[in-house]
Amino acid sequence: MPRLSDSMVEGTIVAWLRDEGEEISVGDEIAEVETDKAIMPYQAEHAGTLRIVAQAGEVVAVGALIGYIGDPDPVTEPAAELVGAAVTAAPAAVANSGTAAPAKLNGNTRPKVSPIARRLAAALGVDLAMLAGSGPGGRIVKRDVQGAVAQPVGEGAHARAPETADRGTVERQPLTTTQATIARRMVQAKTTAPEFTVTVTADVEDLIRLRAQFAEQEPERKLSPGDFVIKAVARALRLHPRVNAGYADGAAELFSRINIGVAVAAERSLLVPTIYDADAKSVGQIGDETRALAAQARAGRLTPADMANATFTVSNLGMYGVSHFTAVLNPPQAAILAVGAAEQQVVVHDGQFAARHRLALTLTADHRVIYGADAAAFLASVRDGLENPLKLVI
């Protein structure tokens, strides 16, 4: 299993793109691997015949064996069990019968089990010792555990579907690598950062009109209110560098570049691609780049570079009709902005009642780096840009 991102400790084999026994050339894409950030293709570094060891759906630690490319002779199973994140994978001795020697851990014979099969068995109460593995070399894989639930295997096999009297049958869905990373980082944010929130409301009536004028001029390029928000944020970060910061090792880190992370809802996950140097780009450029990155995110085609080096994050739920919400910090960044929907409200404008589009903006900030006055001044600059949108396009 290759390390495809700096923070990757394990990966999920989403699919093999080439078949067992197929001849592979250097540079061929042979598998799709889900890292802690995205689904990425894995390119062959050697030429030869492909022999698959780890099956699609298995979670494998970085450095562990997933297959061979080379000698077309039958391959053997690794003899070492995985212990935490430290992995040593080596060919096991093969008896004359052609079966692989069983894996040993601390001198005790144990069945070879894929990590996902082990977790699923623990969740469903399946006794692994009673199963016969159908994977390479007798390795127990996910389908063996699922089969044991549907039909117990052997004498004394125990399989149960978790259920309660009130909730019925419970379907457990193990987290993907990306989901597990999100969960870990959100717990880190909520337990280590002393966060606080500040909310302002911007009158975006002029912005809505300007956006409509752009749509008439360039109907093929549809700018969203979110594109203007990103530009307003980038402009405000240049005015308030203390907010374009992070916290690490007991110190505040102020970043010279303004790279805006944009939260995108993908299937069963949340990805945050980066708009690099957003302060130097026009609203149109930001809009084009945001939509391209969002499409890649939903297709699972973002690279680690697409999601790295953000200095600030914008999370927008306005398209779902959400009026107001609070976002969770994305460590080590010191701030994140939650954007609601631009809604028409009856307000007093120029001494008279009028229906005006209003937009709620909520900043979540790390109090170790940003103080209340910093947050308030930053939000005032964002609001100023949105209420005077010509400042964002000139």
Catalytic residue list: 367
The rounded distance, in Å, linking the Cα atoms of 346 and 88 is: 67
**Angle, nearest 10°, between helix axes 283-298 and 225-239?**
110
Asked whether 200 and 372 are in contact (CB, 8 A), the reply is no
H or E element in which residue 327 lies:
none
Q: Which among 77, 56, 57 has a CA at the least distance from the CA of 65?
A: 77
User: What does 74-107 look like in DSSP terms, one character per residue?
Assistant: PP--B-BPPBTTB----BPPB-TTSPBPPPEETT
Residues 6+ apart with CB under 8 A from 389: 204, 206, 207, 210, 228
Helix axes 115-124, 142-150, angle to 10 degrees: 20
Give SS3 for 118: helix
Residues 6+ apart with CB under 8 A from 65: 53, 54, 78, 89
Note whether 189 and 332 are within 8 A (CB).
Answer: no
Nearest CA-CA partner of 239 in 334, 380, 371: 380
Per DSSP, the three-state class of 390 is helix
Note whether 346 and 354 are within 8 A (CB): yes
Give whole-number Cα distances, 381 to 28, 327, 389, in Å: 50, 20, 12
Cα(238)–Cα(325) distance, integer angstroms: 25
CB atoms within 10 A of CB 373: 9
Distance CA 218, CA 86 (A): 55
CA-closest candidate to residue 181, choices 7, 361, 379: 7
